[in-house]
Amino acid sequence: MIGPRIREARLARHLSLSAVAGKAEVSVATLSRIERDQQRIDVDLLITLMRILKIHAADVLGEEKNGEGTDPLVEQIATLPSAERAQLWRDLAAARKNRSGNATRAVAQQVEEFMAQLDFLRDEIESVRKKLR
């Protein structure tokens, strides 16, 4: 399955669970469960881990050596022609990048609104001070 292959790649690079989990922005417990095949992994996280561990899809999604079945989504991705699989990874990476960019813009907008509220409150406080004098 995918989890043990991720663990093998992590250990081969002498990386700790916490180091990889931190870079992938997941908890150590989540990564540990994924490595033990006790938790499913979504495609975005799989791409992130492959980038962090510098491994290719074929390394992770290749055929099972022990004959056990794999997740149907993994089987579909693994059977895609190389060019289509590469395009899928690029599209997913671009979508993830866009989502993080949208989140950054949303936070920036919230900060601007907060600053405007602070300016308004500052003006109100100053107005009350003047009336009290």
Cβ–Cβ under 8 Å, residues 5 and 59? yes
- 48: CATH: 1.10.260.40
pTM metric for this prediction: 0.50
pLDDT(79) > 80 = no
pLDDT in tens, 82-99: 777 778 877 877 777 776
Q: What pLDDT, on the 0 to 100 scale, is given for residue 94?
A: 77
**Who wins on pLDDT, 96 or 66?**
96
Structural domain of 66 = 2-132
Q: What pLDDT, on the 0 to 100 scale, is given for residue 70?
A: 60
Number of domains in the chain: 1
pLDDT in tens, 22-56: 999 999 999 999 999 898 888 888 889 999 999 88
The whole-angstrom separation of Cα 64 and Cα 69 is 7
Q: What does residue 15 show for φ and ψ, rounded to 5 degrees?
A: -105, 140
Q: What pLDDT, on the 0 to 100 scale, is given for residue 103?
A: 66
Burial of 53 (0-12, 13-18, 19+ CB in 10 A): buried
